[in-house]
Structure 1
Amino acid sequence: MKRIPQICLLLVLQFCPAIAFSQIGSAETQVNVLIGQVLSIQVSQPSVNIDMGLSTHFINGNSSAQQTNHIQITSNNGYEVSVRSASQFFSLNGNTSTLPVNTIMVQTTLGDDLTGTNSSPSSSLSVNGSVPLSTSDATVITSGEGESARGFHVTYSIPASQTGSYLNKEPGTYTTSIIYTVVPQ
């Protein structure tokens, strides 16, 4: 019989709500995202050759062949890419020659998405095909939107119409520096 009061007490405690007092509080924080201007350009092949060593090259012209993803752009907003030569004439053995750089055409085409996600390029992307090399900036790429990492293929060529400039030149390696510049749009 002593057990019945204990069982009744347990049942009462089990079915009666217990009143618990606890402290309720909150805290907050502010998260700031600092977006800066991200604008990056790289050239993947630091040296490119155009061979003018065969008679057919002086008849038909020649090219460097396509330089895959030669220009690589990262920009978080719209951008524009231009190309120019550092000098008006090629150098031979460190000396300025009479061979003008404007005999070279720079042909740019859409390359690959370099993020690995195969994303499509922006609908505002415009690639300006082929431009003659010059000491003045020539726009080759324009995009109204940013991209994480996009490549562009480039082919450097000497068209048949320019091969006469290469006649009667001292054999050797003629060089010029080509500068690509990316600016926000």
Structure 2
Amino acid sequence: MVITKVGASVLSLSSVTPIDLTTAQQTMFSNLLSLLSTGGAVEIAYSIINRPPTYYAGTYTTQLEFQATGLVLCVQTVNATLNLNVQPFINTVQSQPITLQINSFQQFRSSGATASQSITNTRTVPVSIGLRGQAQFDYTGPAGINNPNTSIQQVQARLNMPVTGSYQTLSSSYQNLPGATSLDVPAGNQGTIKIDYALSPAALVSGFMQAGTYSNSIYGQFSDSRATPSNPATALNTLTPLTVEVADLQEMHINQPEVSLSFNQLSDYQNGISIDIPGHLTISKTNPFDVYVKAQSSSMANGTYSIPVDCLQIGPGAGQASVQTVTLSTTGQKLISGEAPCLDKNYNIRYSIPADKIPSLLGKPPGTYTTTITYSFTAP
């Protein structure tokens, strides 16, 4: 604090002594007699130099005592009240958009996906934090794919900093995050608030199996959490884009990769033979798909002997829908058509040589006739 003016006289900085306010008397101006001829009100400038660690909203009051001392006696003692008003406010620096990248089936199976949002927050009051989203995600994907209408309730959020809370399912209504119902004013009035967002494996399978871009908005509400504030801080609302990017992923596994058809008795030649392989194909894909099958060569070979591959048929095993029966050839045949995105879906497959194809085997010497069969998602 420093005297800047007495009456009409403006004082120069060289004639006054700025002081830091303490409980001891200190001299602010030592040439008061030179001003007795003019007199008038004394103007004092106050400033905060040594900032306290943290300001809390409210009015801070102290009593000041001023003494004007003459050459012989004390002229006058004046008491005054100093008020420091700290206004209640909440302010944040907008964070970057939130993006969850889905680029592995392992996320669908076990690991899920997480992303974090860091918000720089300045405030003089404790706050509660509420979040909500739009009821459903917008969707952009391949041509002809309808919006999956994925719910915001597939997403969970939790407070990670300054304390760690438990995950809570988001909705289209504001909900206070666990652990964020009354966050104290941070040291220096500024701190980082970190919020984690998560998609569980079940949520990915349920709402994000289709490849594409899912878009939503996260609305944050930072509110004064004091019990009964006479002058509450204005609630602060934020908006942050939330995006889930699901890559075009595909996997196909052949279980029991070696298949044998055996002619062991007369009835096999009369009626034909077949073998069912449960779960022969296991497929995961994030776009609708077809499956094609073809033979590597036009015949199954046994040394110099051969039989044509078109005696073999491949089709649905017991209880299997969505698989059609095809005759094997060197040209890709569509075995499965228009299946929806799926994770680890098993297909039962039947290999057979029907009775009407038996003549192509007659007259061939005994032995094992082999070929290589290829399954693919696209027509070879």
Q: Which of the five TM-score ranges fits, normalised by the shorter chain?
A: 0.7 to 0.9
What does residue 58 of structure 1 align with? Answer: 269
Superposition deviation, residue 83 in structure 1: 0.6
Residue type of the partner of 1:141? I
- 1:70 touches 1:151 (CA, 8 Å); kept in 2? yes
Out of 247, 258, 265, the residue aligned to residue 36 of structure 1 is: 247
> Structure 1's 111 and 143: CA in aligned 2 closer, same or farther, altered over 3 A?
farther
What does residue 85 of structure 1 align with? Answer: 295
Whether 2:104 is the aligned partner of 1:104: answer no
Out of 77, 90, 94, the residue aligned to residue 24 of structure 1 is: 90
What does residue 121 of structure 1 align with? Answer: none
Superposition deviation, residue 36 in structure 1: 1.4
Q: Over aligned residues, Cα RMSD in angstroms?
A: 2.5
- 2:278 touches 2:317 (CA, 8 Å); kept in 1? no
- The answer to which of 19-28 and 135-144 deviates more is 19-28
Superposition deviation, residue 181 in structure 1: 0.4
- 2:277 touches 2:317 (CA, 8 Å); kept in 1? no
Distance in 1 between residues matched to 2:340 and 2:92, nearest whole Å: 41
Superposition deviation, residue 170 in structure 1: 1.6
- The answer to which of 101-110 and 170-179 deviates more is 101-110
Superposition deviation, residue 98 in structure 1: 3.0
- 2:263 touches 2:269 (CA, 8 Å); kept in 1? yes
> Structure 1's 96 and 151: CA in aligned 2 closer, same or farther, altered over 3 A?
farther
Alignment of 1:128-167 (within 5 A): 128-143=323-338, 145-167=340-362
Q: Which has the higher helix share?
A: 1
Q: Secondary structure at the match of 2:291?
A: strand
1:133-159 CA-partner distances (Å, limit 9, x unpaired): 111011011125311221111110010
- 1:127 touches 1:141 (CA, 8 Å); kept in 2? yes
Superposition deviation, residue 182 in structure 1: 1.1
Residue type of the partner of 2:306? T
Q: Secondary structure at the match of 1:77?
A: coil
> Structure 1's 175 and 150: CA in aligned 2 closer, same or farther, altered over 3 A?
same
- 2:58 touches 2:87 (CA, 8 Å); kept in 1? no
Residue type of the partner of 2:277? Q
Q: Which has the higher strand share?
A: 2
Distance in 1 between residues matched to 2:332 and 2:259, nearest whole Å: 20
Whether 2:372 is the aligned partner of 1:177: answer yes
User: TM-score, with normalisation over the residues of structure 2?
Assistant: 0.37
Unaligned regions of 5+ residues in structure 2, if any? 1-56, 60-85, 100-243
Which one has the largest radius of gyration?
2
Q: Secondary structure at the match of 1:153?
A: strand
Whether 2:133 is the aligned partner of 1:67: answer no
Unaligned regions of 5+ residues in structure 1, if any? 1-16, 113-125
> Which structure has the higher relative contact order (CA within 8 Å, separation 6+)?
1
Distance in 1 between residues matched to 2:363 and 2:335, nearest whole Å: 32
Distance in 1 between residues matched to 2:265 and 2:258, nearest whole Å: 21
1:54-74 CA-partner distances (Å, limit 9, x unpaired): 11111111112x111111111
What does residue 118 of structure 1 align with? Answer: none
Runs of 4+ in 1 over 4 A off after TM superposition: 20-23, 109-112
> Structure 1's 59 and 147: CA in aligned 2 closer, same or farther, altered over 3 A?
same
- 2:305 touches 2:364 (CA, 8 Å); kept in 1? no
Residues matched between the structures, number: 152
